[in-house]
Amino acid sequence: MTAVPGLDAAALTAWLAERHPDLAAGPLTATVIAGGRSNLTYAIEGARLPLVLRRPPLGHVLSSAHDMRREHRVISALGATAVPVPRAVDVVDDTGGRITGTVFFVMERAPGRVLNRPEHNAAYSAAGLRELSLDLAATLADLHAVDAASVGLADFGRPAGYLARQLSTWRRQLDASRSRETPLLDRLQERLATTVPGESAAAIVHGDYRLDNALVDGPEPHLTAILDWEMATLGDPLVDLGMFALYWDISRVAGDATGLVPSAVDPDAGYPAFDELVDAYATRSRHPVPDLGWYRAFAAFKLAVILEGIHYRFRAGDTVGAGFDRMGELVEPLARQGLEES
């Protein structure tokens, strides 16, 4: 059996045989799947169906186990909706146990691949990539149209005051990651705080909606699943559109540092401008989309704070690996972009 950090494949094999004998077929093996925001994701082979296991990052604290239950809960709730998600299998509290030593959840592995680099576009036509893009926008509208109460998610978050709480959360994150002066980022933070818009009607918010958090399959690409629901909650749906917009145009924002936040989005390959995605979203939702300036600026602020945190940890010697030494280079361009948007 393959040994991987954070998961005992033999213990998982025994658990699957006991709890889900219909899926058990013999010894399981596991490999780490790259990607995801912070939680570890493993591809599980050897069952009757391809599976995926998600667990908190190594070195987690117990409170982070709640994220696993939230992810499992939201994909379970969305399974009967128009939003494509993997089928949830189980969530397990293995705290102190042998499998992961944490809460983890298991889901079926949806077919497809992640598009996150320009070279991934070569397999598809320009027309196919355009349709995929518009479908991604329409799928976001489908998510925001789901009645949370009807799928058992009425208590999934506190939508009232969502934007103010988000700003406060990310301001605290920035203060905890300070290792240098960040005047542009501080200016952006102040401007966002003084221009908070009135909130839209509450919806289920993905929290990190972008092309590379989706699985794509087929000779002409179509969506098979939206992934990485660890930041999902109830809140202002325009926050999802702001983040979607930022990542859609991240190559332009990043400039010479584009490779640090890779993206497959390339107009020359067939991807439309983001304005067309907004139109597709509005058509599907049957609601006009207001100006997204504040939400795009807030997305830039969030990503800049995340990257400043990586920069802080790298300087402290707590993060190693290719590219981490340069993440701080993107903070100022993102802050500048946010100031231009706001």
* Alpha carbon separation from 135 to 11, 54, 142, 174, 286 (Å, rounded): 40, 27, 10, 35, 15
pLDDT band at 37 (very low <50, low <70, confident <90, very high): very low
- How many Å apart are CA 43 and CA 220, to the nearest integer? 25
For the ranges 18-27, 60-69, 183-192, 327-336, which has the lowest average pLDDT?
60-69
Q: Which long-range CB contacts under 8 A does 261-268 form with residues at least 24 apart?
A: 261/303, 261/330, 262/116, 262/117, 262/212, 263/116, 263/117, 263/118, 263/211, 263/212, 264/115, 264/116, 264/117, 264/118, 264/120, 264/121, 264/211, 264/212, 265/211, 266/118, 266/121
Four-residue CA torsion sign, 278, 248, 86, 60: negative
Four-residue CA torsion sign, 234, 237, 242, 245: positive
pLDDT band at 174 (very low <50, low <70, confident <90, very high): very high
Q: Where are the beta strands (DSSP E) in 155-277?
A: 203-205, 214-217, 222-226, 233-235
- How many Å apart are CA 28 and CA 17, to the nearest integer? 10
* Owner of token pair 């924002």: 253
Higher pLDDT, 90 or 254: 90
123 touches 115 (CB < 8 A): no
pLDDT band at 62 (very low <50, low <70, confident <90, very high): very low
227 touches 215 (CB < 8 A): yes
pLDDT band at 319 (very low <50, low <70, confident <90, very high): low
Higher pLDDT, 51 or 253: 51
Angle, helices 293-315/162-175, rounded to nearest 10 degrees: 30
The per-residue pLDDT for 233 is 95
**268 CB-near residues (< 8 Å, 6+ apart):** none
The per-residue pLDDT for 309 is 85
55 touches 7 (CB < 8 A): yes
Four-residue CA torsion sign, 74, 76, 77, 80: positive
What mean pLDDT is reported for the chain?
A: 91
**67 CB-near residues (< 8 Å, 6+ apart):** 39, 56, 230
pLDDT band at 61 (very low <50, low <70, confident <90, very high): very low
What is the total residue count of the chain?
A: 342
Residue 160 has pLDDT above 90, yes or no: yes
The per-residue pLDDT for 322 is 59
The two structure tokens encoding residue 32:
């780490």
- Max Cα-Cα span within the chain: 59
Residue 320 has pLDDT above 80, yes or no: no
Phi-psi region of 99 (alpha: psi -120 to 50; beta: other; left: phi over 0): alpha
pLDDT band at 165 (very low <50, low <70, confident <90, very high): very high
Higher pLDDT, 181 or 327: 181
272 touches 130 (CB < 8 A): yes
The per-residue pLDDT for 57 is 76
Residue 324 has pLDDT above 70, yes or no: no
Nearest to 104 by CA among 66, 48, 152, 149: 66
Nearest to 100 by CA among 51, 140, 159, 41: 41
Question: pTM of whole model > 0.85?
Answer: yes
Residue 36 has pLDDT above 60, yes or no: no
260 touches 326 (CB < 8 A): yes
Residue 200 has pLDDT above 90, yes or no: no
Could you give the angle at the alpha carbon of 275 between the alpha carbons of 271 and 278, nearest 5°? 100
The SS3 of residue 214 is: strand
